[in-house]
Structure 1
Amino acid sequence: MSQSFESLGISETRAHHLETLGFTEPTPVQAQAIPEMLSGRDVVGLAQTGTGKTAAFSLPILEQIDLQASGVQALVLTPTRELAMQVKEAIRNLSTDRALYVLTVYGGQSIDRQIQRLRRGVQIVVGTPGRILDLLNRGELKLNSVRWTVLDEADEMLSMGFIQDVEKILEACNEDRQTAFFSATMDASIWKLVRRHLKSPVTVKVETPKATPKRIEQSVYMVPRGWSKARALEPILELEDPESAIIFVRTKQSAADLTNQLQAAGHSVDEYHGNLNQSQRERLLQRLRRRQVRWIVATDIAARGLDVDHLTHVINYDLPDNVDSYVHRIGRTGRAGREGKAITLIQPIDRRKLRYIERHLRQTFDIQSVPKRAEIEARYIDRLKARVRDALTGERMASFLPIVSQLGEEYDPHAIAAAALQLAYDQTRPANMGADDDDDEEDLSPTPKPKLLKRRAKASASNKS
């Protein structure tokens, strides 16, 4: 019998909010960790991103946090700024109260702005050890009122050399706090931290997949220096022409921005995010299933409620932070015995994360260049040939044979066929492939009327002779 969030101790209001986000039942790590954290126990969790661990530690904190108090009550340490932003986004989505203030702090961002926000009052701080320690040393971040401390991806944090910073931060926290460590592995250095800083912790362990399905073809494209990801994505989409796809991004703002850009380019795409209510999500999901919209741009937390069997592609517009999130994403394609394709865009800064994924999957990805126009046109011609072959075996072709016979009295059959292919090519070719602009808009109909086809084919064949 499946559990509910309410049965774990989550309030009815928040459980209903989780349903609107697509969280219908807790994952194994949530089912184990949430009751323990709600009871006040320290927790050691062996789990990675993609298993639902962010909600596992965030929901108990959100259930008990005092929104009237302005001091920092919860501190979440992450190894990278990317993960810090992802955790903040997740907490904001899981929260039902606008009075909650969550601040991310990491290097490369204005420390003065972070200080100003801290002085105005913040309940939750999510950040990397270096910047948090900097704010502590300046006396701007005070942890004496912290009730919860979380180390997210503790093994990655320690492998990056943060152990001394983490020690100093934990020592600065309120001794009566509740502490949770989440890590993919638990080596001796982490257990040393656990023994020193956690009080009789309960251990939560979740087995996670370590390989990707063989029926999924995986491709990685390097975004050229000086290019935006959106600019690099466009030729990839033109080359692949996904029948149906989820494009994963990191934040809701990225989802909105990318969706707007793709829609402006004429693509059938919509965004799927935490601000949609349940009925809006269901309508969008139905549109995707009925092929009324081809692609969806979504964040990881929003896409949890998406369950579509016919997805042909998954596109990692933003690379996830670890292997399980990657596996979870791409596993949405290649279902029900079908083949699928996973495409990942990376920038030079992402190479470390890509190597981490390769190492855990025991695979090496061939990093490709963004396709050039000639490659896109060649792929499009191949698709056109395939459609012509399908049409030659179809029943509808017979209704057009009289037109061919009439034109055959004036033109060579090869010229007639070439003219018809030109019409099909011009009507459906990608807009950015440099098409001529002399075509009438009336020929955009997917099935031209016979008189129109005859007139256009005659004109095209005349031009070729």
Structure 2
Amino acid sequence: MASISATLLVSLSRAVVRFQPQQNHNCKSSSSLTTTINFTDSRLRRHSRAALSSSSDVTTREAGSGNSSPTLREICQGHVPEDLTRKCCRTEEIGYVLPTEIQREGLPFLFSGRDCILHAQTGSGKTLTYLLLIFSVINTQRSAVQALIVVPTRELGMQVTKVARMLAAKPTENDLEQKSCTVMALLDGGMLRRHRSWLKAEPPTIVVATIGSLCHLIEKHIFKLDSMRVLVIDEVDFLFNSSKHVSYLKKLLASYSSCKNRLTVFASASIPQHRRFLHDCIQQKWTKSDVVHVHVNSIQPLPLCLHHRFVICSKETKHQTLLSLLQSDAPESGIIFVGDQSEKSKKAGNAPSTTLLIDLLKNSYEGSSEILLLEEDMNFNSRAASLLEVRQGGGYLLVATDIAARGIDLPETTHIYNFDLPRTAVDYLHRAGRTGRKPFSDKKCTVTNIITSEEQFVLQRYENELKFNCEELTFQIQC
């Protein structure tokens, strides 16, 4: 297979973007222990291969002026197998493609053997960036775990596994004699007993794992990291901020394996206090001392295609306000985000907001969209079934907690509704980033916040932090 369709691969990894005009920028540098590459323009610029030829590191560097942007194929040439390069660097629609900014700026550093922190907008192509690195270093003839990708949720793990297996698939019958690259998913709720025998009999080349399942197998000496060449921590800030994950994560980074023997990649759309995090990476020996922080779109953390708005109502009229918005917008597909139920509410025996919303929509919403639910308290089979229904096409309204805010790629989503305002600006960024992800589309997508008057100052704070403008929407509630 010489090419792969954009809707098949790009919709999962946001691997490519439209050809865009080039813009030149000045280059500033100063000597420092680590490297922070700061790219502030939203357009494609030339890749930073020149940064690799410099013997001194830099503290901050903007994209420089120079030659025209290389294609993704040109960046990967000599590093990634040619058949895999054709899969992800060429589409039937537009031929050979330009890389996204994070791919163009990050891949040269990764291919040179530098540890990296990939810091870029949601849907910017970080998944494909680290997968291309992995396929550039693994040896398929060797029976050992050579790459490990750690994810915060089962849903994100399934998505990454699907893309990795798609890239690992043999392109032609002529390659059947060669040993294939195998990808194993060790995810919460999975059949770990079956995986134990697989790990012993024929270790996979790439493992995608949630931190709990992974460390359980490591501590029982079923899973070894002796041969690991690449370690990827996806949604790294989420894992470090999770009290139940952080101790396992630190063990994985510093005790179960050594940064000297591996390439380490951290990825996220949000890394608060990234200078402090960069310092900790070196001090705690999570990465090598020459780690590179590649920061793309630092001036505009949110995609430009998003239209933000808010409507003020009382707590008593929030449900009716949501219904009126849905009837007015008639969204093709949307996600309604709801806050987690408090422990106090649980103890009082109150029904969670998600249940109340699902009942309301099924009884009162007149649209044709299918009403689905995704929350952490659901069993894994139910969660998988909800996502499967969403991805099978057709209109949907997904009522979800923040479990759906991290990394899940639903490119058909056109509307986001924050029924409950997110707790932090970072949560807002990830919720809003679930839309505006359809490949090659310039269509505006909408993020709507349903707030009380007391919450308006919180939303204004998010606007300041994330540098977006939110328009007030006034309308008559339809009874």
Normalising by structure 2, report the TM-score.
0.51
Cα pair distance change 1:325/1:90, threshold 3 Å: farther
How many residues are matched? 314
Corresponding position: 1:90 with 2:163? yes
Tell me what 1:17 maps to. Answer: 87
Tell me what 1:331 maps to. Answer: 436
Partners of 1:82 and 1:26 lie apart in 2 by 26
Corresponding position: 1:197 with 2:286? yes
Cα pair distance change 1:313/1:182, threshold 3 Å: closer
Secondary structure of 1:214's aligned partner: strand
Tell me what 1:70 maps to. Answer: 143
Q: Are the equivalent residues in 2 in contact too, given 1:61–1:74 (CA < 8 A)?
A: yes
Q: Are the equivalent residues in 2 in contact too, given 1:255–1:271 (CA < 8 A)?
A: no
Structure 1 residue 197: Cα displacement: 3.1
Partners of 1:65 and 1:49 lie apart in 2 by 27
Cα pair distance change 1:126/1:340, threshold 3 Å: closer
Q: Are the equivalent residues in 1 in contact too, given 2:182–2:205 (CA < 8 A)?
A: yes
Tell me what 2:196 maps to. Answer: 115
Q: Deviation per CA, 1:102-132: give whole Å up to 9, x if none.
A: 2222444343223123123211122233332
Corresponding position: 1:102 with 2:183? yes
Secondary structure of 2:99's aligned partner: coil
Q: Are the equivalent residues in 1 in contact too, given 2:72–2:98 (CA < 8 A)?
A: yes
Give the counterpart of 1:133 among 193, 200, 215: 215
Q: Are the equivalent residues in 2 in contact too, given 1:78–1:152 (CA < 8 A)?
A: yes
Partners of 2:112 and 2:127 lie apart in 1 by 18
Matches within 5 A, 1:211-230: 213-214=307-308, 219-220=336-337
Secondary structure of 1:330's aligned partner: coil
Higher helix fraction (1 or 2) = 1
Cα pair distance change 1:315/1:59, threshold 3 Å: farther
Cα pair distance change 1:108/1:87, threshold 3 Å: same
Structure 1 residue 139: Cα displacement: 1.1
Give the counterpart of 1:38 among 111, 126, 131: 111
Q: Deviation per CA, 1:222-281: give whole Å up to 9, x if none.
A: 99989x99x9599569935369xxx99x99x8599527xxxxxxxxxx946xxxxxxxxx
Matches within 5 A, 1:19-418: 19-20=90-91, 24-47=97-120, 49-97=122-170, 99-119=180-200, 120-161=202-243, 162-170=245-253, 171-173=255-257, 175-183=260-268, 184-185=270-271, 186=274, 188=276, 191-195=279-283, 196-199=285-288, 200-206=290-296, 207=298, 208-210=300-302, 213-214=307-308, 219-220=336-337, 239=365, 241=367, 257-258=388-389, 271=392, 295=395, 323-324=428-429, 326-331=431-436
Tell me what 2:72 maps to. Answer: 5
Partners of 2:261 and 2:281 lie apart in 1 by 17
Q: Deviation per CA, 1:349-407: give whole Å up to 9, x if none.
A: xxxxxxxx9996799xxxxxxxxxxxxxxx8xx9xxxxxxxxxxxxxxxxxxxxxxxxx
Q: Deviation per CA, 1:189-217: give whole Å up to 9, x if none.
A: 56323341322112201235348523596
Cα pair distance change 1:62/1:303, threshold 3 Å: farther
Q: Are the equivalent residues in 2 in contact too, given 1:84–1:126 (CA < 8 A)?
A: yes
Q: Are the equivalent residues in 2 in contact too, given 1:50–1:324 (CA < 8 A)?
A: no
Q: Which runs of 5+ in 2 are unaligned?
A: 1-21, 23-43, 45-68, 172-179, 311-324, 326-334, 341-349, 375-379, 399-403, 419-425, 451-458, 466-477
Partners of 1:101 and 1:167 lie apart in 2 by 27
Normalising by structure 1, report the TM-score.
0.52
Q: Which runs of 5+ in 1 are unaligned?
A: 260-269, 273-293, 345-356, 364-378, 383-465
Cα pair distance change 1:126/1:338, threshold 3 Å: closer
Partners of 2:183 and 2:359 lie apart in 1 by 32
Structure 1 residue 72: Cα displacement: 0.4
Cα pair distance change 1:156/1:58, threshold 3 Å: same
Task: Give the aligned CA root-mean-square deviation in angstroms.
Answer: 5.2
Q: Deviation per CA, 1:326-352: give whole Å up to 9, x if none.
A: 43443369x9897857799xxxxxxxx
Partners of 2:276 and 2:148 lie apart in 1 by 24
Q: Are the equivalent residues in 2 in contact too, given 1:144–1:173 (CA < 8 A)?
A: yes
Structure 1 residue 70: Cα displacement: 1.9
Q: Are the equivalent residues in 2 in contact too, given 1:90–1:301 (CA < 8 A)?
A: no
Partners of 1:332 and 1:303 lie apart in 2 by 7
Cα pair distance change 1:93/1:295, threshold 3 Å: farther
Partners of 1:108 and 1:90 lie apart in 2 by 20
Cα pair distance change 1:147/1:16, threshold 3 Å: same
Structure 1 residue 61: Cα displacement: 0.7
Higher RCO (CA 8 Å, separation ≥ 6 residues): 2
Q: Deviation per CA, 1:71-130: give whole Å up to 9, x if none.
A: 100112223333333322332234343832222224443432231231232111222333
Q: Are the equivalent residues in 2 in contact too, given 1:49–1:322 (CA < 8 A)?
A: no
Structure 1 residue 60: Cα displacement: 1.5
Partners of 2:93 and 2:278 lie apart in 1 by 34
Partners of 2:91 and 2:360 lie apart in 1 by 32
